[in-house]
Amino acid sequence: MRVKLLEEEDYEAYEVFLLKFDHTLFYYSIKYKCFLEELLSIKSHYLLVIDKDNLIQAVLPLMKKEGKFGTIINSLPYYGSNGGIVSSNQEAYQLLLNYYYDLSKNMAGSTYILNPLEESREALDYDILDKRIGQWTRLLYSENIEDKIMNSFDSSARRNVRKAIKSKVKVEIDNSQIEFLYQTHYESMTSIGGKAKDRDFFELIDKYFERGVDYNIYIASIEGCKVGALLLFYYNKTVEYFTPAVVGEYRNFQALPLVIYRAMCEANRKGYMWWNWGGTWLTQDGVYRFKSKFGAEDKIYHYFIKINNADIYKATKEELLSEYDNFYVIPFDKLED
């Protein structure tokens, strides 16, 4: 077996390999790779292990970012996208892991983010270990889907869904509403001092993803007035809860819980196994509690961080955000300043 770089001629075989496993996520996909390359103006460095018959036995998605302190690699960048090795056997896994270690020695820093659905085969080498709580809701009910999903929610979430129904909130899929999604997301995030996704993120969606197949935008409305939206991505067995947005003055109508409920029921009917709420920082108590209300279970996972350029420790938060925007370099509480 040997390691090689992913090339365009490998794309079809790469996707076939990924779909052999239930736990491979949207972030591994070729579409997401090409999307991030344009969105972030970066280079990918995806690695494959192939056997003597040129069949893929393992993959590792990596992306690079050049900056003031040297090259940073992530598996993967952008809002905590999950990465890590997917392999069909231990020999291929170890070969690719060793290759990654050798590669990372020549980088200023590297971050390897685990897939919460796959237990690490061994303790990875690191200088700094960062922790996240992945929250996941199981789907795949075979009968009485609506009742069983509703019963998996806690009492407050059930009340909120019923309140939205009583308030005559209407939920539908309308994939033409990217501009409304962007505007509502931007206003929601900036109102709480959060970081909104750039407009380019929304404008590139239709270039790389197919409406109704790779993604859906759920829209909530009251008497014809749009009051909320939710962007979901679909890949393999998992639904990715990607971008929720609610119009501020309508927040008390509880439109988002109803959207989530309806979208979960539809995903279950289509055979998806998991609803991925994404990673939550340990300090994000409010976000964690909200997701927990919808039948979510915790899956702890880690960021394995290596720092080879000691000057990174002396950098400021502002420098790192400027030089390596959308890449993970180091927890800011580890900086000397």
pLDDT tens-digit profile of 115-147? Answer: 999 866 667 899 999 999 999 999 989 999 999
Domain count, the chain: 2
- pLDDT of residue 154 exceeding 90: yes
Do 77 and 171 share a domain, yes or no? no
In a domain, 19, yes or no: yes
Nearest residue to 23 via CA among 69, 83, 63: 83
At residue 38, the pLDDT reads: 97
pLDDT at residue 284 is higher than 80: no
Pair 204, 182: CB distance under 8 Å: no
Answer yes or no: is 280 within a domain: no
If asked whether residues 260 and 151 sit together in one domain, one would say yes
CA 161 to chain CA centroid, Å, is 25
Residue 229 pLDDT = 97
Confidence of residue 8 (pLDDT cuts 50, 70, 90): very high
End position of a domain, from candidates 228, 251, 272? 272
The pLDDT of residue 293: 95
- pLDDT, one tens digit per residue, over 218-249 is 999 999 999 999 999 999 999 999 999 999 88
Q: Which long-range contacts (CB under 8 A, 24 or more apart) does 67-70 make?
A: 67/108, 67/323, 67/324, 68/315, 68/319, 68/323, 69/108, 69/109, 69/309, 69/311, 69/312, 69/315, 69/323, 70/107, 70/108, 70/109, 70/308, 70/309
Residue 245 domain flag: yes
Which has more pLDDT, 285 or 263? 263
What are the b/e assignments for 232-245, b being 16+ CB within 10 Å?
A: bbbbbbbbbbbbbb
Q: In this predicted structure, what is the pLDDT of residue 122?
A: 63
pLDDT for residue 331 is more than 70: yes
pLDDT band at 279 (very low <50, low <70, confident <90, very high): confident
288 within domain boundaries: no
What pLDDT score does 286 carry? Answer: 81
> Residue 41 to residues 33, 65, 295: CA-CA distances in angstroms?
12, 9, 37
Report yes or no on 285 lying in a domain.
Answer: no
pLDDT confidence bin for 282, thresholds 50/70/90? low
DSSP class of residue 196?
P
Same domain for 125 and 144?
Answer: no
Among candidate residues 38, 46, 57, the one with its CA nearest the CA of residue 9:
46
DSSP state of 249: G
Rounded CA-CA distance 174/229 in Å is 9
Do 220 and 115 fall into the same domain?
no
Relative to beta strand 274-280, strand 238-246 is parallel
Residues 261 and 325 in one domain: no
Its domain, for residue 149, covers 140-272
On whether both 32 and 94 belong to a single domain, the answer is yes
pLDDT attached to residue 65: 97
Per the domain annotation, does 277 fall within a domain? no
CB atoms inside a 10 Å sphere around CB 312: 24
pLDDT tens per residue across span 61-119: 999 999 999 999 999 999 989 999 999 999 999 999 999 999 999 999 999 999 999 86
Specify the pLDDT at position 251.
87
For residue 266, CA distances in Å to 95, 171, 226, 229 come to 41, 12, 21, 16
Q: Tell me, what CATH number does 55's domain have?
A: 3.40.630.30
Residue 296 lies in a domain: no
Q: Indicate whether 265 and 171 sit together in one domain.
A: yes
Could you say which DSSP state residue 114 is in?
A: P
Identify whether residues 83 and 165 lie together within a single domain: no
